Structure 1
Amino acid sequence: MILKSKLNATALAATRRFYSASSIPPAQPFRTHTAEGAPTTQTFYDKDTATWTYLLHCPKTQHAAIIDPVLNYDSSSGRITTSSADGLLSFIESSKLSVQHILETHAHADHLTSAKYLSRQLNAPVSIGKRIEEVQRTFAARYNLSLSSLEDSFDTLLDDDAAIRLGEHVGSVMHLPGHTPDHIGYVFGKHVFTGDSIFLDPVYTARADFPGGVAASLQSSIHKLMSLPPDYKLFVGHDYPGANREESCWTTVGDQLALNDHLKRDDFAAFRQNKDKTLSTPKLLHPAIQFNIRGGRLPPPDDDGLSRFRIPITSTVDVL
């Protein structure tokens, strides 16, 4: 049985207008990070979903890339807005940057991506790891979506170790499966954008219980990250600091080896599987997956012109 969650199509009108930065204050970066051999990295935090978005640019050419951008979604009303994305666009315009790439680390399950909206405003391609097709097949069956409706959702499907040019800098794709099979990171110099692979305390490592997630694969991916030199900076996809500290977007390989308790466990895969059984489902899981496997597009509208997200129902009670 499928329960449809109605999304007001008129609420999406803002995402179809031509963006004008003149009336939108620029978003202010949380931090700016520089390192020899790496693009300048500016970080933006979405508190509603605890998500980090990264804006990288080459100081000499002003060529830029965006990693894991966020779209604002109110699950109680089904309303989508673009305030976070518009603030980022305004910052890009005021900084006179030219965006060459919009990069996703994976099909997120905890927030909606603004990749497609940004792509339309910036005329920049949206890229993701090539195994997104496996994820699309898995969730097309779960949500009763046609595979044809998912075709051409992304402009580029990235191979493992693919090169990504950003002005005078060249980055590479690092396959980091475990959290999801399509999960990748991006390496630019000594900066590594790890997506949802590794975290700061108290979370430490990603869950691996979503369809296609494998705890043993996550362990191998983390070992790959920990094999990098200790001074490499790891920029995480989320941070959940609680009341003990300010949010932060980065750690180092050396700090993780010293401080991450999960990495010290000989039984990591079993530990991760048992821990995942205690976690609740992300509240935006169903809309996020249906939206994000389409690269940031709504499902096709029904006959009344409204797009709807579907919620699979599981029940031991006979209520049919």
Structure 2
Amino acid sequence: MATQADVTHFFDEPTNTLSYIVKDPNSSSCAIVDSVLNLDYASGTISYDSADTIIQYLKDHDLSVEWILETHVHADHLSAGPYLQQRVGGKIAIGSGITTVQSVFGEVFNVDEGFRRDGSQFEVLLSDGDSLPIGSLEGHAMHTPGHTPACMTYIFGDAVFVGDTLFMPDFGTARCDFPGGDAATLFRSIQRILELPRETRVFVCHDYMPDGRELAFETTVGAEIDANVHVREGINEGEFVSMREARDKTLGMPNLILPSLQVNMRAGHVPPPESGERFFLKLPLNAFGGPDLSDLAAKE
């Protein structure tokens, strides 16, 4: 039977994001999964409230951070990885598919040649099956693409952190319409997760509290098999792909997708300053479709 990991959750309500500290039950060693850097989009103000809450918890419990893990390049919130690392240590890691994401969105945001597309902003690039020990707690990475090419699921003892790949059973699965996403690939990735023991605890990265229910963030492999509205037992790949592709056509873009991608593809760093000490994020027009804007271009 797998060792029971100690898991503490932190919820960022504006982005519906769950961050976690997962700890070795036999030592002070831990990892942070999917941290949040706060952004007030209207004013362009970045703050650290969510990350500071995690830091205070680490200090209060005298924990030692070994890893700062990203399940993928998030499109709905900014990562606080570098801010946390500067204050509590740990190695920032993501799936090696990050290089594909950087190549795609490097073009979308028209970044200059100084932006490296080799994943080197992250200290560790993980491949399927790579070991991720936390003290004496065994852990490893499972490549689960489909939502994005770089999606990783992290398994520590009896706990699995699935990012956006799976949600609570009443909400289903991740969208697949971002560049590099693919519904059939997502279905196959989810099947790998569902092959884990039924009692394995599943921790999701987001909860949207459908129908007004209370926040929920922990389920099990067995519960997903029995009741997930998109991929429960009996739903085949073709049925899932048809449902997922039709559903994705109805979804709007996440509110923070443009700032999130620019920061998260850089491992949580903001782009270098321009014009002295001022920092900027770009707003590419019609980046995800729309009419030709040539007639509206200023003649300068």
User: What TM-score comes out, normalization by structure 2 length?
Assistant: 0.91
Which residue of structure 1 lines up, in the alignment, with residue 247 of structure 2? 275
Q: Is the 8 A contact 2:35 2:81 kept in 1?
A: yes
Q: 2-side partners of 1:247 and 1:120: how far apart?
A: 31
1:129 lines up with 2:95 in the alignment: yes
Q: List per-residue Cα deviations over 1:219-254 (Å, max 9, x = no partner).
A: 001111111221111111100113432111111111
3-state SS in 2 of match to 1:90: helix
Q: Is the 8 A contact 1:202 1:241 kept in 2?
A: no
Picking from 219, 235, 243, the partner of 1:265 is: 235
3-state SS in 2 of match to 1:43: strand
Q: 2-side partners of 1:120 and 1:109: how far apart?
A: 23
Q: 2-side partners of 1:147 and 1:185: how far apart?
A: 31
Q: Percent identity?
A: 38
Q: Is the 8 A contact 1:68 1:113 kept in 2?
A: yes
TM-superposed CA distance for 1:48, in Å, is: 0.7
> In structure 2, what residue type is equivalent to 1:155?
E
Instruction: Specify whether residues 310 and 225 from structure 1 end up closer, same or farther in structure 2 by C-alpha distance, changes over 3 A only.
Output: same
3-state SS in 2 of match to 1:133: helix
1:220 lines up with 2:197 in the alignment: no
Higher strand proportion (structure 1 or 2): 1
Q: 2-side partners of 1:119 and 1:199: how far apart?
A: 28
Which residue of structure 1 lines up, in the alignment, with residue 296 of structure 2? 319
TM-superposed CA distance for 1:165, in Å, is: 1.1
TM-superposed CA distance for 1:311, in Å, is: 1.6
Which residue of structure 1 lines up, in the alignment, with residue 280 of structure 2? 308
Higher relative contact order (CA 8 A, sep 6+): 1
Which residue of structure 2 lines up, in the alignment, with residue 5 of structure 1? none
Q: List per-residue Cα deviations over 1:261-300 (Å, max 9, x = no partner).
A: 2114331112111110100000000000000000111111
Report which stretch shifted further, 169-178 or 143-152.
143-152
For residues 245-264 of structure 1, the aligned pairs below 5 Å read 245-263=213-231, 264=234
Q: 2-side partners of 1:215 and 1:64: how far apart?
A: 33
1:74 lines up with 2:45 in the alignment: no
Which residue of structure 1 lines up, in the alignment, with residue 123 of structure 2? 155
Q: Is the 8 A contact 1:137 1:147 kept in 2?
A: no
Which residue of structure 2 lines up, in the alignment, with residue 108 of structure 1? 74
Picking from 122, 126, 144, the partner of 1:176 is: 144
1:194 lines up with 2:171 in the alignment: no
Q: 2-side partners of 1:59 and 1:218: how far apart?
A: 32
> In structure 2, what residue type is equivalent to 1:74?
D
Q: 1-side partners of 2:104 and 2:59: how far apart?
A: 38
5+ residue gaps, structure 2: none
3-state SS in 2 of match to 1:85: helix
Which residue of structure 1 lines up, in the alignment, with residue 22 of structure 2? 56
Q: Is the 8 A contact 1:140 1:147 kept in 2?
A: no
Report which stretch shifted further, 135-144 or 151-160.
151-160
Instruction: Specify whether residues 111 and 62 from structure 1 end up closer, same or farther in structure 2 by C-alpha distance, changes over 3 A only.
Output: same
Q: 1-side partners of 2:113 and 2:171: how far apart?
A: 35
Which residue of structure 2 lines up, in the alignment, with residue 39 of structure 1? 5
TM-superposed CA distance for 1:313, in Å, is: 1.1
3-state SS in 1 of match to 2:167: coil
Q: 2-side partners of 1:91 and 1:198: how far apart?
A: 27
TM-superposed CA distance for 1:202, in Å, is: 3.9
5+ residue gaps, structure 1: 1-34
Q: Is the 8 A contact 1:178 1:208 kept in 2?
A: yes
Q: Is the 8 A contact 2:127 2:142 kept in 1?
A: no
TM-superposed CA distance for 1:39, in Å, is: 2.4
Q: 2-side partners of 1:261 and 1:130: how far apart?
A: 30
Which residue of structure 1 lines up, in the alignment, with residue 263 of structure 2? 291
Q: 1-side partners of 2:112 and 2:88: how far apart?
A: 29
The count of aligned residue pairs is 286
